[in-house]
Amino acid sequence: MYLWDQKIIDRLMTSYQKLVVYHFSGTGNSENVAKWMADIANEKGMEVSLINIIKTERRGIEPPEPETLVAFVSPIHGFNYPPVMLNFLIHFPKGQNNVLLLNTRAGMLIGKWITPGLTGIAFYFSALILKLKGYSIKSMFPVDLPSNWISVHPGLNNRTVKYLHDRNQEKVYRFARKVFSGGSDFRGLYEIIQDTLVAPISLGYYFIGRFLFAKTYYASADCNNCDLCIKGCPVKAIKKVDNRPFWTFKCESCMRCMSNCPKQAIETGHGYILAFSLLFSLLLSGIFYTYFAELSSDIEHTFTGFILNSALFLGILAVWYRIIHFAMRFRFVERMIVYTSLTKYKFWGRRYKALKKAGK
């Protein structure tokens, strides 16, 4: 009897009949958040659609029906939404619905304190895109789930992963109950100062950094050519070259390939990227700057110079990556690269995959 009453009350307190959640996820955090939102929507008797943006035909998206609450959930990559989500938003049809913006970011744990990740420009930029299309933003809500970026930090242990998972599930449930009853939640805005400070880095990551990271991945000799990485890549960035996986500049470093590889053969090549960076600066200072002394001060001190330098860096990196890819057929080179990859080692290389646990 009580449960029945509670259901009626829930329905009466719900301001929307329908929820559509568009999500992108590399290692499962954002997908979990989308599912947690759906748990509460179901509890409130709302009609729910969860849409993985990778599986939709971007240009064929119907505008959302009036009165439908629309949510977008995506990880943060380099202090912004990843390009795949930004492109989706740019091509999203016009409408006048209420919209919830959520992101999942790099949460870590110090004692019982969950250290927050950094959203950067993701909320501001996507809110601007959607506002210009006529939507009304009702929330900006960050969720600090376990960081999956083991290219830059050691993998998290199971206790931390479980703790962050459970705490955030409750947090998302509370958020969903509030916003489905007509409330709003802009706690993402509390971080406007640090988000503004990292804005230049987010641009640097978007235009340069992500291409550099795309060329840090390789498959070691442990690869058995199962092609799971190629089939599972959400942006179709991995192809076969010389009968081994090869990462193109399309890679968004979502970490899905690394996290899913059954042989744990995919690594981040810290050693060879470091070697490349050193060689590149030697090349520039040793040859270029010696022969073109006047040009060198321009390159070092102007914005155009910076762009030229970066383009040169990425261009030569692409060639270097191809050479390394070829040379890895020789055992000695392969072992050198593997042993200078931090992800190879136990203390660092724990792969991350979001916990899959039954919802409510």
209 binds ligand FMN (CB under 6 A): no
206 binds ligand FMN (CB under 6 A): no
Query: HSE (CB half, 13 Å, CA atoms) of 344?
Result: 18
Please enumerate in sequence order all residues whose Cβ is within 8 A of that of 239, keeping only pairs 6 or more positions apart, or say none.
Answer: 230, 245, 246, 248
By beta-carbon proximity to ligand FMN, the closer residue of 70 and 145 is 145
254 binds ligand FMN (CB under 6 A): yes
By beta-carbon proximity to ligand FMN, the closer residue of 73 and 284 is 73
75 binds ligand FMN (CB under 6 A): yes
Please enumerate in sequence order all residues whose Cβ is within 8 A of that of 100, keeping only pairs 6 or more positions apart, or say none.
Answer: 69, 70, 71, 72, 138, 139, 141, 179
Identity of the residue numbered 60: G
Q: Mark 76-115 with x for binding to ligand FMN (rule: CB under 6 A) and - for no binding.
A: xxxx------------------------xxx---------
Q: How wide is the angle at C-alpha 27 spanned by C-alphas 149 and 310, nearest 5°?
A: 45
E strand map for the chain: 18-23, 47-52, 68-75, 98-110, 113-115, 136-146, 217-219, 238-241, 244-247, 266-268
CB 184 within 8 A of CB 138: yes
Stretch that binds ligand FMN, among 26-34, 46-54, 297-305, 309-317 (CB under 6 A): 26-34
By beta-carbon proximity to ligand FMN, the closer residue of 75 and 95 is 75
By beta-carbon proximity to ligand FMN, the closer residue of 95 and 146 is 146
By beta-carbon proximity to ligand FMN, the closer residue of 40 and 143 is 143
30 binds ligand FMN (CB under 6 A): yes
- Measure the CA–CA gap between 153 and 164, rounded to whole angstroms: 17
Q: Mark 113-142 with x for binding to ligand FMN (rule: CB under 6 A) and - for no binding.
A: ----xx-x----------------------
**Quick one: tokens of 109?**
């744990």
- Measure the CA–CA gap between 37 and 97, rounded to whole angstroms: 17
- Measure the CA–CA gap between 106 and 316, rounded to whole angstroms: 31
Q: Mark 214-253 with x for binding to ligand FMN (rule: CB under 6 A) and - for no binding.
A: ---------------------------------------x
Q: Work out how close the CB of 97 gets to ligand FMN at its nearest, in angstroms, rounded to a whole number.
A: 23
- Measure the CA–CA gap between 72 and 99, rounded to whole angstroms: 8
Q: Work out how close the CB of 74 gets to ligand FMN at its nearest, in angstroms, rounded to a whole number.
A: 7
Q: Work out how close the CB of 256 gets to ligand FMN at its nearest, in angstroms, rounded to a whole number.
A: 7
Q: Which residues bind ligand FMN (CB under 6 A)?
A: 25-30, 75-79, 104-106, 117-118, 120, 145, 147-149, 253-255, 354
